[in-house]
Amino acid sequence: MPVHQATAQAHPNIALIKYWGNRDQALRLPSNPSLSMNLDGLTTTTQVEFDPSLKSDVLILDGREVTGAGRERVGRFLDQVRDLCQTFEVLETSKVYARVESRNNFPAGAGLASSASGFAALAVAASAATGLKLSEAELSRLARLGSGSACRSVPGGFVEWPSGADDRSSFAYSIAPADHWDLVDVVALIDVEHKSVGSTEGHAVADTSPLQAARVATAPDRLAQARSAVLGRDFAALADVVERDSLMMHAVMITSIPSLMYWQPATIAVMQAVVQWRANGLAACTTIDAGPNVHVICSAEAADEVALRLRVIPGVRQVITARAGGPARLRPDL
Ligand code: PMV
């Protein structure tokens, strides 16, 4: 069998309407629909090589070999790809192991959604390496099996992920390309250490909070408001719903069993500062993932001022700026 290899790149995404909790934990079928923006400039580059001489899957992340739970998760994902290959009869043996080498140009595991760009790039590279020819929807669905939010990093720009009825129908698609609206995500990095409770465990306890049912029931309304704000480029309407939605997700996290409190004092300081700035006319709002860092979503005109102001807030270690980014794609040139 010839050696099969491919390289792909994907961007992380920031959810404007959050996904939290699964209807089906194993298949990562979400409890609610979500909406996100890909982050240009922040990139995961992943090379996959299926090699018959390997005795197990190998994962190299940012130059270091990963074993244990991280490699097992990637191995289980590759099993899905190998199953697809059997279905389509593209690989000569059902169990050919792969070497996966992945690099992020941003800190992993700190609420910057490296799992989203990671599994999106892996889905594109692994399927291409085997010779599978999957559509964008099929790639998005495949990426979802690795990490729910990864399905939103496959299409470009502003992306919606409806809950879907089942495994086949739960995938994300673009509602507007990256150049539709020059929104900027100015990320205040407060802690870049790996988070203690990852989102997979977090999703599993979402239903222990009595607030989750109310959040899920009202998510479609917030999604509709956010979608029309994006399509109409209405920043005030977007800011209102983005902040409320993030706070609702964190209310669920904080009140679940065990309680998940991702915020640090500087997280709250940034949130309060941005509310004040917006009241004084700066087009900016905040959203926070499963980590302490704060994503300040703002207009392109406000971005420099926002970055300047964030840098002097005590506890903000670094500021990263990203515009709306494109889809995951193959990079045969790398
Ligand atoms: O895809 P996961 O399992 O890492 O979950 C992502 C969850 C949040 O980032 C907190 C919200 C979201 O919609 O991205």
For a ligand 1 pocket test, name from 14, 16, 17, 18 the mutation site with the most ligand atoms within 8 angstroms of its C-beta. 18
Q: In terms of pLDDT, which residue wins out, 40 or 193?
A: 40
Mean pLDDT of 143-148: 97
Tell whether omega for the bond before 12 is within 30 degrees of 0, i.e. cis: no
CA-based torsion, 189, 192, 197, 199: positive or negative: positive
**Could you tell me if the CB of 33 is within 6 A of ligand 1?**
no
Ligand 1 center–CA 199 separation, angstroms: 6
CA of 90 to the centre of ligand 1 (A): 32
Q: Locate the domains of the chain by residue range.
A: 4-180, 183-323
Q: Which CATH class is domain 183-323?
A: alpha beta
* Mean pLDDT, residues 235-246: 98
Locus of tokens 């086949």: 168
The pLDDT value recorded for residue 1 is 46
Q: Name the average pLDDT for the chain.
A: 94
CB-ligand 1 contact for 149 (6 Å cutoff): yes
Q: Report which ligand 1 atom has the smallest distance to the Cα of 19.
A: 13
Looking at the domain that runs over 4-180, which CATH code has it been given?
3.30.230.10
Tell whether ligand 1 has an atom less than 6 A from the beta carbon of residue 73. no
Q: Which residues pair with 44 in a beta bridge?
A: 10, 104
89 or 152: whose pLDDT is higher? 152
What average pLDDT does range 221-241 have in this prediction?
Answer: 98
- pTM exceeds cut of 0.85: yes
Residue 174: enclosing H or E segment and its boundaries? strand 173-176
Q: Residue 90 pLDDT more than 90?
A: no
Mean pLDDT of 37-55: 95
- Write the pLDDT tens digit of every residue in 161-214: 999 999 999 999 999 999 999 999 999 999 876 667 889 999 999 999 999 999
Residues across the chain: 334
The rounded distance, in Å, linking the Cα atoms of 288 and 123 is 26
